[in-house]
Amino acid sequence: MKKEDCIFCRIAAGDIPSETVYEDDDYRAILDLGPASRGHTLILPKEHFRDVTELSAHYAAGILPVAAKIGEAMKKALSCDGFNLVQNNGEAAGQTVMHFHMHVIPRYNSETAPIAAWEPHKADPEELKQIREQLAAAIE
Ligand code: 5GP
Ligand code: ZN
């Protein structure tokens, strides 16, 4: 994808204005326009990667320390009680902007609604064994 066609490339480059809370050579962190909670932030790499399967080792290594820094700042500045790191890959997983990004979502004890909820199924031990064999063999 060309930079001009990607909204997050344009925001990360500073060509489209955003509420930037943090910036360094590799990342720009911005407030989400459709926040799940007060202070919901997105960390955007300045280089285009579709999702985590494309992300370079350099950007992959750098993003967690940035997320931790922002989470710490959220606790101090917004008095949140915790935060979620969320990262969607592919439409089926809820990814709507096809430029890798990590959500940092402040959580407040006063707000109990889950950010993401799933209904746990009962695992069948035989099925777990099969899945483990398939998956382990496919991991490169
Ligand atoms: P995804 O669902 O792809 O993981 O997350 C995309 C996020 O980007 C959503 O939470 C959405 O509200 C946010 N978003 C989409 N377009 C823009 C934009 O132009 N500016 C900002 N700040 N956030 C955006
Ligand atoms: Zn992009």
Ligand with an atom nearest the CA of residue 6 = 2
The DSSP-derived string for 78-100 is: H--SEEEEE---SGGGT--SSS-
How much distance in Å is there from the Cα of 43 to the middle of ligand 1? Answer: 11
Fold for 7-113, please state it: HIT family, subunit A (3.30.428)
pTM of the model: 0.94
Dihedral angle over CA of 125, 127, 131, 133, nearest 10: 70
In one-letter notation, the amino acid at residue 51 is: D
| Ranges of each domain in the chain | 7-113
CA of 99 to the centre of ligand 2 (A): 5
Confirm or reject: Cβ of 88 under 6 Å from ligand 1: yes
Q: What does the pLDDT look like over 60-96, one tens digit per residue?
A: 999 999 999 999 999 999 999 999 999 999 999 999 9
